[in-house]
Chains A and B, each alone.
Chain A
Amino acid sequence: MSREKLKSLGLKLPLFPTTSVGSFPKPDYLAKARTEFSKGKITADQLRELERKATKFWIKTQEKLGVDVLVDGEMYRGDMVAYFAERLPGFTEGGLVRSYGNRYYHKPIITGEVEWPGPVTVDWWKYAQSLTKKPVKGMLTGAYTIMDWSFNEHYADRRATAMALAGLIRKEVEALIAAGCKIIQIDEPALSVRPEELPIAIEAMEATTKDLSAYFITHACYGAFEQIYPGMLELAVDNFDLEMSNNDLGLLEVFRGQPFTKDISFGVVDVHTHTMEEEDAVRRRVEQALTILSKDQIWVDPDCGLKTRTVDEAIEKLRLCVAAAEAFRH
């Protein structure tokens, strides 16, 4: 329960604050422009202009919907690890590897000492924040996930790799805070992949956020959380952003045995289906959350990033989140 911390940071949020996990779908003109850029048909400046246009669209859309804590929508990012790997010395782009089916990606390779080249995300955060009076989250990928989703040819082992990365993610966090950012999300979707390595993830997050003045959120998904709960609560963050709807709120049963002691961004809409939930169904998910969690703990958002939905679907899913939260504020 970190409402005191939010207050101390000067953040006045309503009960059941609404937010989203990070990514939004790229409008058609931007998707096309990214392809043209990769073929050398448009310049980096031309692409950036369109990324800014799309960012503005999503900031204004979130404001219009009544979302409380905004994100920039990641119009300038592709993969959440590759985006950082492409900008950090020490990484080399690897060849293509398969994700599933006919989907492939360039998995980064750590070939040298990783270094922080200066702020990577701060300019985008400043731009997004300049468009609204509502707080905009700083969005980073955590050290453990970057380690797990990269090959390592340089460091002795996985712990050494995660800790080296934690050092440089911390610098990015410090830069965001210096720029005025008060809510920072550090995503760790790989958190539960190797339950025996939870201590490494905890140590790396501690090194990333310790003694820094911001409200920290981490997002994790597609994991066997029952295997790392309640140990995962030791992660040095204030809020866990979890996909709850995709597994029919099964995680609530896990929380029933051992109290959930932090804030939670509770996923109330499934992001992997074109189907729209009924408003009642979304409200019932919040109701069920309240059987285990207190009203001061709960934030309301989608299960995961919305980038795989269409623009219209993403907007409707966000609207459902806001409607559900508002129903419980009164």
Chain B
Amino acid sequence: MSAAAPGLYLSSTGSYPRIGDSPELQVLRKTIAALDRGERTTADLLDAEHEMTRRAIADQMKAGLDVITDGLVRWYDPISHLAGKLENVKIRGLLRFFDTNCYFRQPVLTGKPVRRGPLVVNEYSFARNALGHLPTPKGKAGKLSIKPVLTGPYTLAKFSQAEHSGNGEPESFASLETRAMAYAEALAAEIGALAEYGAELIQVDEPAAVKFSEDWTIFENSLAPLIAARDKAREAGRKVEIALYFYFHDCTSLYEKLVKLPADIIGLDCTYNPKLADLIASAGSPKALGLGLVDARNTRLEDPEVLAWQIERMLSKIDGGRAYLGPSSGLEYLPRDRAFAKLELLNRVREALLGPKGSVK
């Protein structure tokens, strides 16, 4: 990196399309459909998930990213994939996920959600191994990292409900706060396990916190167990950071509060309000930022020169000059070819900022 951008990393923001238009990219869809018909086994499903995970990782490497995810290709949706693995949680009907045209299955709590086993540790472990088996792009040796992703406790709680007992008794988990704290306890255990497995950066998504800012105190309180788990891992000698990501809503009015949260990195969707980039450039940030400047919800490709100019203004105001340029959210809302083009765009932005050979422009 040049002196102009000592800490600009290219990063995934989570999901990647699990399907494409060519037959070999439809293996997961076809396997799930065949499994439903009783023509395939769960072992076949696992193979298909592995295959599409490898492809997601390969695409991110090919595009030149520094921080990669497994593409979340095994996730049914961002809510039920995690909540469904907890004890005392049933998964019910479909609801719209924010302003997307995608739907998630709603968790219903029959008691306290309890973690009895790994949520994404196995997925993280597979992705890390897969990364090790793929050819490392030139100049990236030792510089690539895999980032596990979790949906945060507040967002999980906001989209869950407590089961009605039918006897008029108040439900223990009827309150949002109780649900959020219970999920936080489960996720804190997962963060501890991920740190133990070597995860150095863990992304926690909290899109609901900016959409429903009236619950700010509940959201903020629910972070405490996660931060405590991170600190405990650090005390045990683990090097781990938590990145909190916010998207699907304008973050501008909450910016001052967001950058004071006790996470190490704050990831922001900059596409809902162009003034957010101006605000970051003027107010600065006391901690590293995830800059969601590339629109993950529309196929139009941004001008790399314009984005480079925006980043240049912001970087000097970000503490340590460390920032993670990425899509505004996960990329699964785009067709695969367009999602890959967005990843390639990230590299073009960095080139526009640094010059093609890393020289300062």
Contacts and interface: CB of A to CB of B under 8 A. Distances in A.
Asked if chains A and B come from one complex, the reply is yes
B198 to A, nearest CB: 30
Contacts of A112: none
B98 to A, nearest CB: 8
Interface in B1-60: 17-21, 29, 32-33, 36
A193 B99 contact: yes
A278 to B, nearest CB: 19
A95 B99 contact: no
Contact of B103 (A95, A100, A149, A223): A100
A316 interface: no
B338 A95 contact: yes
Given A100-B103, A149-B101, A222-B96, A95 B300 contact: no
Given A95-B336, A96-B21, A98-B19, A152 B300 contact: yes
A60 to B, nearest CB: 33
A99 B336 contact: no
B76 interface: yes
Nearest to A107: B335
A176 to B, nearest CB: 26
Contacts of B96: 193, 222-223
B334 A97 contact: yes
A143 interface: no
Contacts of B18: 98
A102 interface: yes
Q: How large is the interface on A (under 10, 10 to 19, 20 to 34, 35 or more residues)?
A: 20 to 34
Interface in A94-113: 94-102, 104, 107, 109
A76 interface: no
**Most chain-A CB neighbours within 10 Å: which of B17, B101, B298?**
B101
A272 B94 CA distance: 10
A142 B76 CA distance: 30
Interface string A262-282: 000000000010000000000
A255 to B, nearest CB: 22
Nearest to A158: B298
B32 A96 contact: no
A95 B76 contact: no
A94 B20 contact: no
A100 B102 contact: yes
Given A94-B338, A97-B17, A151 B299 contact: yes
Given A104-B19, A152-B298, A153-B299, A98 B338 contact: no
30 contacts: A94-B299, A95-B21, A95-B338, A96-B17, A96-B336, A97-B334, A97-B335, A98-B17, A98-B102, A98-B332, A99-B101, A99-B103, A100-B77, A100-B102, A100-B103, A100-B104, A100-B105, A102-B29, A102-B36, A104-B29, A107-B101, A109-B299, A148-B101, A149-B101, A151-B298, A151-B299, A152-B300, A193-B96, A222-B95, A272-B93
Interface of B: 17-21, 29, 32-33, 36, 76-77, 93-96, 99, 101-105, 298-300, 332-338
Interface of A: 94-102, 104, 107, 109, 148-149, 151-153, 190, 193-194, 222-223, 272
